[in-house]
Amino acid sequence: MKNYKPRNRNFKSNYSSKPKVDSPKPSGFQVFVRDGEDAMKAYRRLKKRIMRDGLLQDVKDRRYYQKPSEKKKLAKQQAKRRNEKRQKELALEYGIRYKNYTPGF
């Protein structure tokens, strides 16, 4: 029987399917304007990144102090709103009556 040596799991091949590009990686919320690209397009990318991260909403929330009980109350209201919306969408999908809404009329 041969001595079987398992392949090293940390082994990384020098061959990759994607060519390496020497372009700087933006750190934080930096967005680079590419060659021939409109500055407004880069600005929109930056806005999307900020919105996705929730930074803008965080800044808006910290404009004034909010008591923990108010935060809980607001979170409950938002959860209730999400649930109501989901229930209405399901009712529309299956064509069943939901509260004052009757599909097909």
Any idea what the Cα angle at residue 49 is, between residues 20 and 67, rounded to 5°?
Answer: 140
Residues 6+ apart with CB under 8 A from 50: 29, 56
Give pLDDT, residue 67. Answer: 94
* The overall pTM is greater than 0.75: no
Give pLDDT, residue 94. Answer: 87
Domain locations along the chain = 28-64, 67-105
**Helices (H) then strands (E): counts for the chain:** 3, 0
Greater model confidence, 38 or 3: 38
